[in-house]
Amino acid sequence: MKDNRLDPAPKKAGKPIWPKVPAGFVRSVLAGHSALGLAFAALIYLVCFSGSVAVFAREFQRWEQPNATPIAAVTPAALQTAMEQAIARSSTTVEHVRILPPTPDLPRLTVSTDADSVERSYAADAAGRLGDEGEAVWTEFMVLLHTALHLPRAWGGFVVGLAGVALLSSLISGVLAHPRVFKDAFHLRWGGAKRLQEADLHNRAGVWALPFHVIVSLTGALLGLSTLIVGILALAMFQGDTSKAYALFVPVIPDDPRPAVAPPDLAAAVEAAQRLAPDARPTFISIEHPAEQGQTVVVNVAKPNRVMAGSNLYFDGRGRLLDISRTAEPNLGQKILASLGPLHFGWFGGIVVKIAYGLLGLALTAVTASGVAIWLARRRDKGRPAPRWERIWIGAVWSQPLAFAASALIVLALSSTAASTPLLVWGLVTGTPLGLSVWVEPARLSRILRLVSAVALGLVVLTHLVRHGAHYEDSAAWAMNGALIAIAALLAWTVLRPAIRRTSQAATAEQTRAT
């Protein structure tokens, strides 16, 4: 006879960590998630892809200008010399001068002027002596594509901000639409149906890096919609006076348009900034209206490897501190505003953080691309295929690596300094695969674009070596060329590996039949 006393007591079912979500709610949120993602898919994808590249904007600037000798630091006197020489080179009245002192990720002294809406940029040596005029054309194209889509600044930033809002909403609705998304965080269905495999990768990439995705989309939305936010703040608090709203973040300095007797004493301002913030270093200097008596010097000082971009110290033309009550200690609003850029681009922790941001940004790009692919596959499984949209989406996704590589290749090959050159090439190369997608089936189009992108990246490196004679003053050029070759090899591997595998399997099968 069985002794029930020896049997262990039945275990009670534990209370689930997550509350049970009604199926109707899940279906509704999933429908909204799909609709939102589809409506903004191409825009979000472009912003995410270009943002992943823009993380390395300073490294690409060094790559474009490899013959500039790296500089670890400069003296206030050298900054004064650089400013005066830049002003002297302008044939018209200079309205603004921007100076970037050397930093670990950009070890060079860069000076730019704005006169009659014409911007010129120069590299200077450690003594502040300006070299020839030169700009990182492709780097500027790439950054502006991410931040404003090459539209007018206000409108472009607004559109990019909307993309950030749409992305953030998609992330939230994606989590709500999948009640088991955290429970199944490490569940991957390999080797089965392709749609299920892609869905698992889509969900896992979205969950594993969810904090990063939220931070990047939120900061991107705030940066892009800052003008709108200030406008709403002005309406709510200052009867629409935006100048008062901006005064909450930036001190208002009265204008004095009378001609200046002497150029600003930049050296005195920088020395004063160093005394006020001895544990920080100047990262950005702006000279406003240097030809007027209302000339102002703004020195941004920041501590190394900090998320917050730093504090702005305002000086008059003689180097005397202005509005010390505002500049001595930034308020909460200023701290939040100053942290948005570094948090969004990963410019706060050196190259390791940048690499992490680049990889996580590519993961977010893949999440966007796979989301549309999953929706199209689901339609196909339900008997409502959309082959034309499948081809168009493949063309849109894989056109971007090729378009970025082709634009850089043409700029290098032609030694072009025209800002329109990379934009025209990018537009042409982006549109060509979309046209080809009408006739070429998706899988083949994907293979062609990946392989051509790999070849184009290889040509970019070769052209770079030929143009500069492989005599680089800045070692970052070698590192960037190595990274581009690695990316080209990876793209080629994704195309050639399946072909090699099929050939090997065919040879094995033939050998088996022969024996």
- List pLDDT tens digits, range 369-411: 888 888 888 888 888 888 888 888 999 999 999 999 999 999 9
Q: Provide the pLDDT confidence category of residue 414 given band limits of 50, 70 and 90.
A: very high
**In whole angstroms, what is the distance from residue 169 CA to residue 36 CA?**
8
Backbone angles phi, psi at 10, to 5 degrees: -60, 135
Q: Provide the pLDDT confidence category of residue 29 given band limits of 50, 70 and 90.
A: low
**In whole angstroms, what is the distance from residue 228 CA to residue 183 CA?**
39
**In whole angstroms, what is the distance from residue 61 CA to residue 93 CA?**
28
**In whole angstroms, what is the distance from residue 429 CA to residue 406 CA?**
7
Q: Provide the pLDDT confidence category of residue 505 given band limits of 50, 70 and 90.
A: low
Instruction: Give the model's pLDDT for residue 387.
Output: 85
Place of tokens 């200097």: 285
Q: Provide the pLDDT confidence category of residue 304 given band limits of 50, 70 and 90.
A: confident
Task: Give a three-class secondary structure readout of 428-468.
Answer: HHHHHHHHHCCCCCHHHHHHHHHHHHHHHHHHHHHHHHHHH
Instruction: Give the model's pLDDT for residue 1.
Output: 44
Instruction: Give the model's pLDDT for residue 6.
Output: 47
Q: Helix, strand, or coil here: 115?
A: strand
Distances in Å between the Cα of 203 and the Cα atoms of 44, 75, 183, 196 are: 17, 52, 11, 10
Instruction: Give the model's pLDDT for residue 17.
Output: 47
Instruction: Give the model's pLDDT for residue 97.
Output: 96
Instruction: Return the structure tokens found at 406.
Output: 């082709």
Q: Provide the pLDDT confidence category of residue 471 given band limits of 50, 70 and 90.
A: confident
Q: Provide the pLDDT confidence category of residue 179 given band limits of 50, 70 and 90.
A: low
